[in-house]
Structure 1
Amino acid sequence: MIYLLPLLAVVTGFGISLFIKPSSSTGFQLLLSFSGAFLLSVTVFELLPEVYTSGTSGVGVFIMLGLLIQIFLEFLSKGVEHGHMHHGQTGKFPMLLLISLSLHSLLEGFPLNSSEDLLHGVVVHKIPVAAILSTFLLHSKIGKLRVILFLSIFAVMTPLGSWLHANFEILDTYAVYIYAVVIGIFLHVSTTILFEASKNHTFNASKLGVVVLGIILAYLL
């Protein structure tokens, strides 16, 4: 499931991009808000206690490092990770976007071996991101084969991160620090989703409801 579910999330997101318009669909925006709340809650309930009870010093520094890394990655990706979509028709393969999203996905795959709830959080988050990314690529006129290539690389990076962690013992030595970096990444992405969930930074009853639902489900699972 660790390897399969992230792949299915990208396929699902691609399917959503074909049948609805992610930039204007109310249902899609609610899914994005839910994913942000769920991912933030799982990070707080699962990952944060794990790294802070490990007895390892300097964890806070690496959390902030992860946040800074994500800010830099979003400079390259223009914020696709938290729902931004910019239609472009340049016909050029978006290599910087691929590098940014691939590194983000690779890092988020590392802690998935330790938490099934975190796996669910990443999958829920990846579906709307994949939908937004697919919509952008389909409008960019880079060709269907390049779109498939891009999405395929993006899809395998999270399972690759999990596989690397499971098969290279040396990574266990630095696991807490890697987890802390991932926490910083998740905190930035999820809180940005929540702050930008509505125009003028206001919540309506529906979005408030799905945010509360995301928090409750993350706590109960």
Structure 2
Amino acid sequence: MFGIHDLTLFIVSGLLLNIMPGPDSLLIMTRSATQGWRAGVVTALGIGAGTMVHVLAAAIGLSALLATSAAAFNVVKWVGAAYIVWCGIGMLRAKLKNADAPAQAPATPPRLPYRRIFAQGFLTNVLNPKVALFFLAFVPQFIDADAPNKALAFIVLGCIFNFNGMLWCNGLAVFTAFASARLQVKPSVALWLNRVTGGLFLLLGARLALAERT
């Protein structure tokens, strides 16, 4: 159908790729642990929206531009790296709210509005040119050379990949929030988790800045 082959292999491979730890998983776990499952789910939705941008861009050929143009790749790479580093610095600078308040008002990590959480998940994904190149390299392997509409087949496979990814990401958000509640993570621990993730984001931003096209 649609010129797609080995769909089961594609689904299994996609699930395994989604399970691999990366900046998306780190961001989801941090938001769920510090702000609850809803924040984690909103982060996942932002990541899913960013993934669909890559899918559609690859389907209409924009990702091919990143693969062939060093200038275009570098522009997206540096913007993405700068944004990830900016997010990391924000996490590192986070402080407990109500730290100077009376004892009956416990200090808690700062809570971000959902629209900002969604935007953070979206931008960390959509500004990563490696994701675009991944779709360009991975998805066509499951499309027949003589498929009548390769762009449609690409979009169908991209939607399947993203749907499976959303199942994993939302499950990770709920599980992390549940585990955090069960373990009764203290606000100070949640704050340091936020800061550790911020440090990892700095490293990921530096890694993205040094990335080369493959």
Taking structure 2 as the reference length, what is the TM-score of the superposition? 0.50
* Bigger Cα Rg: 2
